[in-house]
Amino acid sequence: MSFFIPKRAIFEPRALDYPMGKELYEKLKGMEVPITFTGSHNRVSGIPGKTPREAFREAKRTLVVGVRKGTDFAGCKPSAHYQLPLNTSCPSMCEYCYLATTLGKKPYLRVYVNLDDIFNQAENYIAQRAPEITWFEGAATSDPIPTEHLTGILYKTIEFFGRQELGRFRFVTKHDKVDSLLLCRHNGHTRFRFSLNAAAVIEKYEHITPPMADRVAAAGKVAHAGYPLGFIIAPVFYFADWRRQYEELIMALDAQLPAAARKDLTFELISHRFTKRAKNNILDLFPETTLPMEEEDRKYKYGQFGYGKYVYRPEVMAELKEFMKNKLFSVFPHAQIEYFV
């Protein structure tokens, strides 16, 4: 997969007061990306699209460059204490994107250029919880890798946390452009996670993302660079060939990960589920989808505020769990499976 180049960029004028904003402006101009301005990074107009599908696709190719106002960070329980607000959205189009219901009809990409303000606030939060460790999640509203070659935001963030005695950082990506991060002075304070799936699942449902083998190769590089490593396998599907497909994924990881990385490895597994709202969204944007979303095949699980979800039936869940846990522990006996829901 090639590097992401936006089709258009929209700047808040104030972003040019910051060195990163200026640099980004010059870089995009040099790439001949059309640039316009907006009063606020929250109210962006000028993204074309006559139908919801068109607007969605155009938004995914639009980069908004802004200044983050306000200081508070959102919570991020249970995986971290706070979300670290660095960027939003991503150019890929996974049919089951976990951000699909939160980013609205035009999920444009956004990056913030006032990193020092964001780091200062992170330091305040760290100080408030001292002497406990405070964790920050960098992918709660985005996949941060595709814009990294333009901004260097992750590089600076990883080095910032490398200097924090009591601050830790984690993020997750479905992308493979990790080379610029291999020489960061991370000091073991960033857990670099990859979101993976069986090769056939990625090919079918995760549009404009690198294939499984490329992500696993990227994870190998990150492991050699000494980062603590983690994997999210999600959503785990139950289909005709699932055992062989997921076994191939685990064997691909086995072939790439050096011995040192296996001592501190985390896995998070999420079985496929959907809500009525997510299903309608997916059918709007991907009318030809072959995602298995037949309510009658699932168990309905009541949720908060009436937002119930359709999950696999207990006997299917038990089969998925048993197979995946056995396989993972047979290959990575020291790994930690943080959850399998």
Chain residues in the site for ligand SF4 (CB under 6 A): 90, 92-94, 97-99, 143, 174, 206, 209
Contacts of 87 (CB under 8 A, 6+ apart): 109, 110, 111, 112, 141, 142, 144, 147, 151, 153
Taking the least distance from each CB to ligand SF4, the nearer of 98 and 323 is 98
Of residues 190 and 209, the one with the C-beta less far from ligand SF4 = 209
In the complex, minimum distance from the CB of residue 132 to ligand SF4, in angstroms, rounded to a whole number:
30
Q: How far is the CB of 285 from ligand SF4 (least distance, A)?
A: 11
Tokens matching residue 309: 């979800």
What type of residue sits at position 108?
Answer: Y
94 versus 150: smaller Cβ distance to ligand SF4: 94
Name the region of 306 (left: φ>0; alpha: ψ -120 to 50; beta: rest). Answer: left
Beta bridge partners of 40: 43
What is the closest distance, in whole angstroms, from the C-beta atom of residue 100 to ligand SF4 in the complex? 7
CB of 90 to ligand SF4, least distance (A): 3
Count CB atoms within 10 A of the CB of residue 125.
17
- 94/111 with CB nearer ligand SF4: 94
Minimum Å gap between C-beta 5 and ligand SF4 is: 16
Q: Which is nearer to ligand SF4, 93 or 126 (CB)?
A: 93
Place of tokens 């993976």: 196
Closest CB 237 distance from ligand SF4, rounded Å:
15
Q: How far is the CB of 207 from ligand SF4 (least distance, A)?
A: 8
Give the separation between CA 113 and CA 18, rounded to whole angstroms: 7
Q: How far is the CB of 172 from ligand SF4 (least distance, A)?
A: 8
Tokens 């939160």 belong to which residue?
A: 102
Distances (CA, A) of 177 to 24, 36, 119, 152, 182: 19, 27, 24, 12, 10
Residue 187 or 275 having the CB closest to ligand SF4:
275
* Vertex 191: Cα angle to 252 and 111 (nearest 5): 105
The region that residue 11 occupies, defined by phi over 0 for left and psi between -120 and 50 for alpha, beta otherwise, is beta
The C-alpha atoms of residue 336 and residue 328 are separated, in whole angstroms, by 10
Give whichever of 2 and 45 is closer to ligand SF4, judged by the CB atom.
2
Q: Compare residues 90 and 233 and give the one whose CB is closer to ligand SF4.
A: 90
**Are 199 and 245 contacting, i.e. CB atoms less than 8 angstroms apart?**
yes
With H, G, I as helix, E, B as strand and everything else as coil, classify residue 218. helix
Among candidate residues 171, 172, 169, 202, the one with its CA nearest the CA of residue 187: 169
